[in-house]
Structure 1
Amino acid sequence: MTSSNERVTVYVYYRGTPDTRFDRDYYTNHHLPLCMKAWGQYGLLSCRAFYPAIDEDGTIAICESVYRDETAANAAFGSPELREVMADVARYTDATPIRVRGLPL
């Protein structure tokens, strides 16, 4: 468990096949900036996208989001802006986002 003043990393990943619709350009250039605009005010410090080197069944995209602390992450995911961010998902994929929190080793 993290202390209240440690940075929190949240990973959002998407699973599918090479045929699953996922617009990387839209995700990188529109959705992630939308997340920063919506949640930067709560303490989102950065978010970056990663894509597999080869197309195969499994993970098709990963986003690493770093929050100032636990309070910031909770505030962002409980914010009124969550609705706008989630509504944007349909614009770039049919896959369901899966959110997990990473813990430092």
Structure 2
Amino acid sequence: MTKMIVVCTGDADTRFDRDYYANEHFKLAMSCWEQYGLQSAEAFFPYSATGEWKSIGVYTFASEQGVHDALKSPQTQRVMDDVKHFTDAKVVLRSLFAEF
């Protein structure tokens, strides 16, 4: 199992619709990437008076290769085009975490 972490950043003026992200965007990601092994998606919303992180999305795939295949797929454009519906934040970090 491999987890792809996606972090959105911004300041106090950055728009971020948590409900849309956790419900609608994740449904879209599942429909686009399930064939590549996406098993689940989770949303975390950190709080810090001075922090820039608006959200942390954890996408769990069956394998690391599945993450790479999903990101290279034509369906990824649909996922990326949907971002404007929930935020104007800049996605600044994508990381892979695998169990060891």
Note whether the superposition's TM-score is higher than 0.5: yes
Residue 68 of structure 2 corresponds to 74
1:50 aligns with 2:44: yes
Q: Which structure has the greater CA radius of gyration?
A: 1
Aligned residues: 99
State the alpha-carbon separation in 1 of the partners of residues 87 and 70 from structure 2.
22
Give the whole-Å Cα distance in 2 for the aligned partners of 1:55 and 1:72.
36
Partner residue of 1:8?
Answer: 2
How much identity, in percent, do the aligned residues show?
Answer: 37
Unaligned runs of 5+ in 1: 1-6
- 1:3 alignment partner in structure 2: none
Q: Match of 2:13?
A: 19
- RMSD (CA atoms): 1.5
CA shift for structure 1 position 50? 0.3
CA distance in 1, matches of 2:49, 2:80: 25
Of residues 46-55 and 29-38 in structure 1, the stretch that sits farther from structure 2 once superposed is 46-55
Gap runs ≥5 in structure 2: none
Q: Does structure 1 conserve the Cα–Cα contact (< 8 Å) formed by 2:10 and 2:90?
A: no
In structure 2, what residue type is equivalent to 1:101? L
Question: Which whole-Å deviations, capped at 9, do the CAs of 1:12-33 have from their partners, x for residues lacking one?
Answer: 0011122211111111110011
Query: What's the TM-score once normalised by structure 2's chain length?
Result: 0.89
